[in-house]
Amino acid sequence: MIIDDYEPLKGRMFQVLDRDGKLVLDDPGLDAELLKDMYWWMLYARMADEKALKLQRQGRMGTYAPSRGQEAAQVGSALAMRKDDWAFPAFRELGMYLLRGVTLEHNLLYFMGDARGNLVPEGVHNLPIYVPVGTQIPQAVGTAHAMRLGRKDTVVVTYFGDGATSTGDFHEGLNLAGVLRAPVVFVCQNNQWAISVPRARQTASMTIAQKAVAYGFPGVQVDGNDVLAMYLATREAVERARSGGGPTLIEAYTYRMSMHTTADDPKRYRTETELQEWEARDPLRRFRAHLERRGIWTEEWQRELEARATAMVNEAIARAEAVAPQSPEDLFSHMYAEMPDELREQLGELKRALDEREVEDDAEQIQGGFP
Amino acid sequence: MVEALNSALHEEMGRDATVVVLGEDVGVDGGVFRVTDGLLDKFGPDRVLDTPLSESGFVGLAAGMALYGMRPVVELQFDGFVPPAFDQVFSHISRMRNRSQGRYGMPVVIRFPYGGGVRALEHHAESIETLFVHTPGLKVVVPSTPRDAKGLLSSAIRDPDPVIFTEPKRLYRAAREEVPDGPHTEPIGKARVVRQGDDLTLIGWGAMVPRMLRAAELVEGKGTSAEVIDLRTLKPYDEPTVRSSVERTGRAVVVQEAPRTLGFASEVSARISERLMASLEAPVVRLTGFDVPFPYYKMEAWAMPDVDRIIKAMRTVLTW
């Protein structure tokens, strides 16, 4: 058992592949189709992420939080979930989102400042992005607890970063999960940086995984750039939760290869050498080497996947950019199950103001007399 | 009032199996004010959950349970312990329906005792309703009678949206009246004219209502007829009830226990001034607590509007 064998206070990280994609453990014997899926979702997430960054740079999208470098942590963990399990994200989980059925179009719309990007498609059990750091954690525990009360065999997986482990909600959430034995898996994407603050300034603990020990449940540090390790560890944690064994904390040891958001300049706080060091551990390159070794990866297959991803990305952009404009009603919709008079009145005020608009710019002159 | 609230919880938990109660000491102890007394015995530990001392954690927990279709009723033990949970309320519970484009509602009730006048320890006597009224997406309810406490809490539990239910702890034991047995609801968003009068309108909520009534009785003997409105719900605000009263009386005093600046009394005053200017015979007067932390109990009487100050405020609008 991975979770028992990699007790976090011993300081061992669970890894299946080395940096060159060679197995360091016995072959876990995963189905070739699953391996292909892993590679596809990582590649699609990488290409979508690259394109999203370009859109932002071209002024076609607002501030964006890139996922580059964290594809294995996201895809490996999400593939270990069932469709009827629930996922609570933070805001840097593109790979998990795409795989679970929150489309790229939704992601783009969200970062284009369009609230409709948060409308999770029917049948997809994901929550919208959580921006205030760590706040999704107690809620994930609540949903997991409700599942247990309802005698369901579903589980919750929640994602957050190393920075979130310093928030009160992380500690309160994990404490509650331990007390309630809630069927929840905590996936901390330790990408080493919370904007400019390094992991060592978030906590004096040797690992993040070991924090689980204090809450009375297991934690395991996993090589987050090793998709097989992430898949196997999460699968075990999910099955443990499903069978009543309670929560697990998985620390995905990874790296944010890009900026915090497009408004951030990492050159101010980290070195090029560090980045190069992590480039060498790129999760995609590493898994590709592994698949090549297995005879699954070929140049031709790569071209095929790239063509498919490019087409899907372009379609998603086209749809996101062609979405109908929102109306003043959309500003007030979904505030309550029924709109109160108060808001109806405010909506009327906005509509009148838009209809009777006189001054488009502060510098313009008022037409006619005043008042 | 405590028995009335307890009765609402018994009724609603019996009626709807998705209703759960959680908070600190709500189980075995029945809540520090005994509002949840007997629930654990009747409904068991799956539905009555004693939580760790973790306000943000268990309010977030309730949010997550609501996402999965349950109707959690959270007890926060005292007004002064609400702030740690505010992030969950402000950032998520209040806006999840909106930001999920209607996919996820948040039928959560958050109850807590508020206000002073019971010789409590510090951090146990705050009036913080304004923080929630100011937060888009919430409903804010403040009962002042046992009957309303039962009816409004039942309605809050049945409401599809999040309701902040603040209970005037000064009236927990002081307010006594017969309350209907069995299910009883009162509409959220409707104020109640608790005393009719012609010369001026007193508007308030919660623990200020009995004081306004007492003041109105005292001036009645001096030939002044005061109307008293118990708002009962601060959000959504019942504008029509206030409007029809003030249009008739032309004078209004808004009484609030909370500190003055940007309190809900300011909002009521602004709305009357904006909309009913032509009916007003005098500026609207706000009679409020002061912009200081609620004091230790030796000075608490000074910090709360009392009958004497209410009468003086009435005189101000009558003689303007």
Q: Do A225 and A348 have their domain in common?
A: no
Q: Considering the entire predicted model, what is its pTM?
A: 0.96
- Region A212-232: what's the mean pLDDT? 98
Confidence of residue B175 (pLDDT cuts 50, 70, 90): confident
> What is the token pair recorded at A173?
């959430």
The confidence score (pLDDT) of residue B134 equals 98
- Collapsing DSSP to helix, strand or coil, A366 comes out as coil
Domain count, chain A: 2
Let me know if residue A371 belongs to a domain: no
The overall average pLDDT reported for chain B is 97
Counting beta carbons within 10 angstroms of the beta carbon of residue A50, is it exposed (0 to 12), middle (13 to 18) or buried (19 or more)? middle
Q: Which phi and psi (to 5°) does residue A175 adopt?
A: -60, -45
Q: Do A317 and A339 have their domain in common?
A: no
Let me know if residue A363 belongs to a domain: no
Indicate which of A172, A175, A344 best probes the interface with B, i.e. most B CBs within 10 Å of its own CB: A172
Contact: B160, A337; criterion CB under 8 Å: yes
Q: Do A245 and A352 have their domain in common?
A: no
* Range(s) of the domain holding residue A345: 328-357
Q: Do A346 and A228 have their domain in common?
A: no
Let me know if residue A129 belongs to a domain: yes
pLDDT at residue A363 is higher than 90: no
Q: How far is B86 from chain A (nearest CA, A)?
A: 11
Residue of A nearest to B101 (CA): A119
User: What kind of architecture, by CATH, is found in domain B2-174?
Assistant: 3-Layer(aba) Sandwich (3.40)
CB neighbours of A161 closer than 8 A, spacing ≥ 6? A90, A92, A133, A188, A189, A190, A191, A194
User: What single-letter DSSP state applies at residue B90?
Assistant: I
- The pLDDT tens digits of the residues spanning B64-104 come to 999 999 999 999 999 999 999 999 999 999 999 999 999 99
B78 and A CB contact within 8 Å: no
Q: Do A339 and A190 have their domain in common?
A: no
Residue ranges of E strands in A38-154? 86-88
Let me know if residue A55 belongs to a domain: yes
Q: Do A20 and A61 have their domain in common?
A: yes
Fold adopted by B192-318: Rossmann fold (3.40.50)
CATH code: domain of residue A35: 3.40.50.970
Q: Do A137 and A215 have their domain in common?
A: yes
Q: Do A125 and A214 have their domain in common?
A: yes
Indicate which of A336, A344, A346 best probes the interface with B, i.e. most B CBs within 10 Å of its own CB: A336
Residue of A nearest to B188 (CA): A340
Q: Which candidate from B60, B97, B104 shows the least CB-CB separation from A135?
A: B60
Let me know if residue A91 belongs to a domain: yes
- Region A252-262: what's the mean pLDDT? 96
Q: Do A89 and A214 have their domain in common?
A: yes
Contact: B63, A138; criterion CB under 8 Å: yes
Q: Do A194 and A341 have their domain in common?
A: no
Q: Do A285 and A345 have their domain in common?
A: no
**CA separation (Å) from B201 to B154, B198, B231, B251, B253?**
29, 8, 12, 6, 6
> What is the token pair recorded at B84?
């740690």
- The pLDDT tens digits of the residues spanning A30-83 come to 999 999 999 999 999 999 999 999 999 999 999 999 999 999 999 999 999 999
- Region A154-182: what's the mean pLDDT? 98
The confidence score (pLDDT) of residue A366 equals 67
Q: Do A213 and A230 have their domain in common?
A: yes
**Contact by Cβ (8 Å): B207, B170:** yes
Let me know if residue A369 belongs to a domain: no
Contact: B136, A335; criterion CB under 8 Å: yes
Annotation marks residue A344 as catalytic: no
Model ipTM value: 0.95
Let me know if residue A177 belongs to a domain: yes
Let me know if residue A121 belongs to a domain: yes
B83 and A CB contact within 8 Å: no
Residue ranges of E strands in chain A? 86-88, 156-161, 184-190, 193-194, 197-198, 219-223, 248-253
- Region B217-234: what's the mean pLDDT? 97
Element (H, E) at B228: strand B226-230
- The pLDDT tens digits of the residues spanning B230-254 come to 999 999 999 999 999 999 999 999 9
- Region A195-204: what's the mean pLDDT? 96
The overall average pLDDT reported for chain A is 96
How far apart CA B208 and CA B218 sit, in angstroms, is 16
The confidence score (pLDDT) of residue A365 equals 65
